[in-house]
Amino acid sequence: MLSLSAAEIEELNKKVQFGVLGKAVYERTYSRIKPNGEKETWPETVLRVVNGNCNLVPERYIEAGEREKLFQLIYQFQAIPAGRSLWVSGVPGRQFLFNCHNSSWTEDISGHFTFLFDELCKGGGVGSNYSCRYIQHYLPVQNRFDLHIVCSQNHPDYLSVQDKLSTKFSADWTGSISIEDSREGWVQALKTLLQYFWSEPFEEREVIFDVSNIRAKGSRIKGFGGIASGPVPLIVMLQNIAALLNARYSQKLTSLDFMLLDHLIAACVISGNVRRSARMSIKSWKDPDILDFINCKLDESSHWTTNISVEIDDDFFKAWKKGNKHAKTVFNKAVEAMLTRGEPGFWNRSLSQVGETEPERIESTNPCGEIALQGFENCNLGHINLAGFDDEQQRQEAFRLMARFLIRNTFGDILNKRQKEIVSRNRRIGVGFFGYQTWLVKNGIKYSESHHNQFVIHSLKKYYQVVRNAVREYAFALRIPEPVKVTTIAPTGTIALLPGETTGIQPIYTRYGIRRIRYADNDPQLTEFAPQDIEQDIYSATTKAVKFYYKDRLVEIAEHLNFDVKDLVEQQDEIHLADMLSVQAMIQDVYADNAVSFTANILPGSLTKKEIKGILLSYLPRLKGTTIMVDESRPQAPYERVSAAEFEKHNGLIGHGNLECTNGACPIK
């Protein structure tokens, strides 16, 4: 067990080199409250994470000095596990260490929804495939009834929920169903409600839920962490779901109905102050209602908790070449929507199946698209800061140690039997990296030329082999199957913000800009910001967006190295779409055996629709998934460009503006 004295922790805390927004992001997102009521410092978080991870396997499987090496790598932001590990690794009790999940479809219709609700409540993101082949076997809604909610007048939140309560029943009614004040209790309430709708036809016309035991808004959640939302979000979710299913009585649900149910659940979790729910919704290009799916986010108040992608495959490309009308219509409509709203993206199912031991079981991706998953499988991520090393051997050692870290994570707690079986069989991990453009700039390489640069290609191939060799050796020692896939590129938004690095493989958005970071509206940190920099989040009534003006750090790095800043430090609107997709395709080819999460941003009018469609179609066979977004294609953009003068006017900061997602469905934690 690695230990540090209070004096050592205090000294280390003084020397932490956060990026310009890193300390605020860390304290908001990853610093837990200790038993004494104080918040963790970064050295304490790192110590908890390292010991928690290494304790997942017997000590004989930990190398001499491995804990110390990991501590230094994470403390110095050279290697950082994904946010799930930073938040829960080493926390007493169960360790739910997995970033994201695929909520598949079960014989019991409630299984999909309760799994999704449970994982969102535990802080994971969830992807699902709503193609007709997965849902067409479900029966029509079997019952309809009136839902009543009751609550004790002694509850601290009674006045705030009073308008949502039954006028016919009270909390004294003995026939009500009491909801337990726990994650399991909320999930059970959802399961009970759904089972009423799909049980054998019954005579009851009224169902009563009692929320009196739900803790008050603002109470501390001791186990998972965070602040309780009170009963309102749960009440709203149950009532909205009941209204939807009553309206569908005796009918089969459509794929959009299933998506809407998941959206209502995710909205509850957001309001529940656990995280801003991250979801991915996927649907096959072959489905007759695919155009409804493509247009499901035309109303920006609908389906905002999810990213959406159209599933394509080898059959799609064959159909396109043959001039199939449906294939062409789907592609054209999807691209037009993408250029208007940034969605849908495309997910290449056939390419994602390559290298899988059971390719037919691949169903969907995680919310940002970097990991394709089997039914109920999860993803398990960690990242190397490419720009964080001066010594190449140390960089390669970081890849090796992160691979071992993630293998140990697969021994974390898994409650779902289906998921436990799949993880035991696949042991899928995703070692990724961030700081790609900074690494390029330090080596004098332009982003737009990196896809054919031999130094870049050789280095990435080497890093992949280091990871693959490490997991093969460690899996053999642990007597577990070798992981089916091991590398990926995630967006790494909040992770990269800790040291102030460029995210994933995204080029910087702009040399000068505004970065919006979202906070729950009862987050005490909001008091630290100027009122004019705080906006009401238009996507969530319980969230605020805070504006930060910044000058990108790459400008200062290039200036320090005496490089031509404007030539070397390319921002997204200066890189041709073909070059951006070439970089993604190169990294998919030589490094990421899972997938690469990437959004290509282009300026309005920089290319014709015909040119964009031609470029995209030529790259899709090589990409497992991608999205194109036209700048400012939606209101309250997460980032926007400003002039140098505007930056100076607001006394801006030095940092990076990139973030993990681009369309408003990104996580708070």
CB atoms within 10 A of CB 321: 9
With residue 425 as reference, give the H or E element that holds it. helix 417-426
Tell me the one-letter amino acid at 597. S
> Is residue 99 a contact partner of residue 83, using CB atoms and an 8 Å limit?
yes
Decide if 661 is catalytic: no
Structure tokens at 330: 């789907």
> Reduced to 3 states, what is the DSSP secondary structure of residue 385?
strand
Which amino acid is it at 541?
Answer: A
Sign of CA dihedral 451, 453, 454, 456: negative
* Angle of CA points 68, 70, 72, to nearest 5°: 70
Backbone angles phi, psi at 156, to 5 degrees: -60, -25
**Residue 96: is it exposed, middle or buried by C-beta count within 10 angstroms (0-12/13-18/19+)?**
buried
Q: Which helix (H) or strand (E) holds 588?
A: helix 577-590
Distance CA 394, CA 386 (A): 11
Three-state SS at 330: helix
Report how far residue 213's alpha carbon sits from residue 200's, in angstroms, rounded to the nearest whole number: 30
- Spatial separation of the C-alpha atoms in residues 414 and 427, rounded to whole Å: 13
Q: Which two tokens stand for residue 141?
A: 């809604």
Between helix 232-247 and helix 183-198 the angle, nearest 10°, is 10
Does 43 sit behind a cis peptide bond, omega within 30 degrees of 0 on the bond before it?
no
Based on the residue annotation, tell me whether 368 is a catalytic residue of this protein. Answer: yes
d(CA 573, CA 626): 17
Kindly name the residue from 119, 370, 397, 570 that is annotated as catalytic. 370
DSSP conformation class of 338: H
CB 507 within 8 A of CB 445: no
Which of 292, 338, 330 is CA-nearest to residue 311? 330
Q: Please tell me the distance from the alpha carbon of residue 456 to that of residue 449, in angstroms, as a whole number.
A: 10
Q: Cα separations (Å) of 230 from 29, 150, 184, 217, 503?
A: 21, 14, 15, 4, 35
According to DSSP, the residues that pair with 596 across neighbouring strands are 489
Active-site choice (368, 379, 661, 666): 368
Enclosing H/E stretch for 193: helix 183-198
| 3 state DSSP class of 50 | helix
Per-state percent for the chain, helix, strand, coil, to nearest 5: 45, 15, 40
Tell me which residues are annotated as active site.
368, 370
